[in-house]
Amino acid sequence: MKKENSWMMNLTPEQLHVIRDHGTEAPGSSPLNYEWREGVYQCIACHAPLFKANMKFESGCGWPSFFSVINGAIETEVDTSHHMKRIEVHCARCKAHLGHLFQDGPAPNGERYCINGIALNFERQIK
Ligand SMILES: [Zn+2]
């Protein structure tokens, strides 16, 4: 993230570290690892809808994982930090860093969006 904006005013230092400084939460630390109810996962900073509950799967990696994404909600960028070549994932609207995209997900696309739970806001939908 390049500059501060009003969306970030209510965020904690831990949240800001992840979304602005490309931090990573400790694996297994997010309550969203155990969230399986119907709903939408929003960007913690600007509340843009990013993932639907039916796009989430248990990858066992310790971070909330998704095999798909709401159309146009996220952007990716090649990230060569930590001596690895990874695909960085951020919010298309406010550029908040979310996590990384790996190619070891389930069929048919084989994609795994490995997302910091701290960068997400879960909005439950009651049917
Ligand atoms: Zn955002």
Residue spans of the domains in the chain: they are 6-124
pLDDT of residue 2: 47
Enumerate the active-site residues.
114
| One-character DSSP codes across 3-72 | S--GGGTT--HHHHHHHHH---PPTT--GGGG--SSEEEEETTT--EEEEGGGEE--SSSS-EES---TT
CATH class for domain 6-124?
mainly beta
- State in Å: Cα 48 to ligand 1 middle: 6
Mean pLDDT by 10-residue block, N- to C-terminus, for the chain (127 residues)?
A: 61 95 96 97 97 97 98 97 94 97 95 98 89
- State in Å: Cα 2 to ligand 1 middle: 13
pLDDT of residue 10: 82
pLDDT of residue 4: 56
Supply 18's token pair: 């992840």
- State in Å: Cα 10 to ligand 1 middle: 14
